């Protein structure tokens, strides 16, 4: 990828990066290709104080290209799993996870499809999703927005959504925040009176009807939906440096 014209994947990467704007000096854990690229874009441009790992246990002082091996000079600290748990319980973390299913209140499922007792498909298991979502800010990335992934009700609540958090009362829910969902079609949040998912912006070239048809519930659609910002030529240059192999271009379904 040498073109300076923004692709859908570039727009998604910037939309991901925007999730981390003003996060400051906290750890970002971005799971998957486009989240990793977007978080690195944020760190390389407007959010340099973010702490990020190599995906394993090294904290890196600068954002490296996807797939690059860090050198000793790139390292600023150590973050083994034990420290990850302490950090997430401390709350100084913003995670962007994937979602096999996500529902209208932001409940996420990565555990299984079908009833948990007798799953049609066993997936990862809940992993850290319950603890992440109840302890610190969470965002989600959906590379292929469709009505099987964006559903009215998830099969198994791994990551906690707003209706579940509200049922815990003010104590239980005080650290819960689902900031945004970025998909290949648009950007969504939960800034509605009952925290139902709302369309924030459509990526350039995406029709509103396409989003409605591919969503398994009735989205809140405000008057005058925005278009997701397109990265500047300078940002596209940064994106090309951070993803020289074009992994994100392959991930995003157009």
Partner 1 sequence: MKDKRMTVEQAVAEVTDGMTIGIGGWGSRRKPMAFVRALVRKGVKDLTVVSYGGPDIGLLCATGQLRKAVYGFVSLDSIPLEPHFRKARQNGTLEAVELDEGMFLLGLRAAAQRLPFLPTRAGLGSDVLKINPHLRTVKSPYDDGEELVAVPALNVDVAFIHMNRADAAGNGQALGRDPYFDNLFCMAATKAFMSCEKVVSTEELVRGGPLQSLLINRMMVTGVVEAPGGAHFTECPPDYGRDEKFQREYAATAKDEEAWKAFRAKYLDVSEAEYQKAVAS
- Written as six digits, the tokens of 75 are 């390292």
CA 78/CA 43 separation, integer angstroms: 18
What are the two backbone dihedrals, phi and then psi, of residue 203, each rounded to the nearest 5 degrees?
-65, 150
**Given the complex with partner 1, which of 176 and 203 has the nearer CB atom?**
176
In whole angstroms, the minimum distance from the beta carbon of 45 to partner 1 comes to 29
Total number of residues that touch partner 1 (CB under 8 A): 45
State the Cα–Cα distance between residues 29 and 52, nearest whole angstrom.
7
149 binds partner 1 (CB under 8 A): no
Q: How many Cβ atoms from other residues are within 10 Å of residue 170's Cβ? A: 7
**CA quadruple 154, 226, 182, 27: dihedral positive or negative?**
negative
Coil, helix or strand at residue 192? coil
Tell me which of 8, 40, 145, 164 binds partner 1, using CB under 8 A.
164
State the DSSP string of 43-69.
HHTT-TT-EEE-SSSEEESSPPPTTPP
Q: Binding string to partner 1 for residues 26 to 65, with x set by CB under 8 A, is what?
A: ------------------------------xxx-------
Report yes or no: 181 and 195 within 8 Å, Cβ to Cβ.
no
- The neighbour count for residue 186, using CB atoms within 10 Å, is 26
Task: Round to the nearest angstrom and report the end-to-end CA distance of the chain.
Answer: 16
Q: Considering only 115-123, 140-148, 198-206, 209-217, which stretch makes contact with partner 1 by CB under 8 A?
A: 115-123
Binds partner 1 (CB under 8 A): choice among 59, 62, 116, 253: 116
Q: Is 128 in the site for partner 1 (CB under 8 A)?
A: yes
What is the nearest approach in angstroms of partner 1 to the Cβ of residue 25?
22
Q: Is 173 in the site for partner 1 (CB under 8 A)?
A: yes
When binding is defined by CB under 8 A, the residue of 159, 179, 185, 211 that contacts partner 1 is 159
Report in angstroms how near the CB of residue 95 gets to partner 1 at its nearest: 12
Task: Give, as ranges, the residues between 190 and 249 that touch partner 1 (CB under 8 A).
Answer: none
Q: Which stretch binds partner 1 (CB under 8 A): 140-148, 168-176, 193-201, 209-217?
A: 168-176
**Cβ contact 42:21 at 8 Å:** yes
The Cα–Cα gap between 96 and 238 comes to 21
In the bound complex, what is the minimum distance in angstroms from residue 215's beta carbon to partner 1?
A: 22
Binding site for partner 1 (CB under 8 A): 56-58, 78, 80-82, 85, 88-89, 111-112, 116-131, 133-135, 156-160, 164-165, 167-168, 171-173, 175-176
């Amino acid at each position: 990828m040498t073109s300076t014209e923004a692709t859908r994947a570039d727009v998604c990467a910037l939309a991901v990066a925007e999730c981390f704007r003003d996060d400051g000096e906290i750890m970002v854990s971005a799971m998957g290709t486009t989240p990793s690229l977007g978080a690195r874009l944020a760190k390389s441009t407007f959010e340099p104080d973010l702490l990020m790992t190599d995906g394993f246990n090294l904290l890196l002082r600068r954002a490296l290209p996807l797939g690059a091996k860090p050198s000793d000079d790139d390292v600023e600290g150590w973050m083994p799993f034990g420290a990850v748990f302490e950090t997430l319980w401390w709350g100084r973390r913003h995670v962007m996870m994937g979602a096999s299913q996500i529902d209208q209140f932001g409940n996420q499922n990565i555990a299984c499809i079908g009833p948990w007792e007798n799953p049609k498909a066993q997936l990862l298991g809940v992993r850290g999703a319950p603890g992440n979502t109840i302890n610190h800010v969470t965002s989600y990335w959906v590379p292929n927005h469709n009505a099987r992934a964006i559903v009215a009700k998830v099969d198994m609540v791994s990551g906690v959504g707003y209706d579940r958090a509200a049922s815990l009362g003010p104590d239980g829910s005080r650290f819960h925040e689902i900031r945004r969902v970025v998909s290949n079609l648009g950007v969504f949040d939960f800034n509605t009176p009952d925290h139902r998912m709302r369309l924030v912006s459509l990526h350039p070239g995406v029709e509103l009807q396409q989003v409605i048809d591919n969503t398994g519930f009735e989205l809140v659609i405000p008057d005058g939906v925005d278009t997701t910002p397109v990265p500047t030529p300078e940002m596209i240059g940064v994106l090309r440096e951070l993803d020289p192999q074009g992994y994100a271009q392959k991930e995003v379904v157009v």
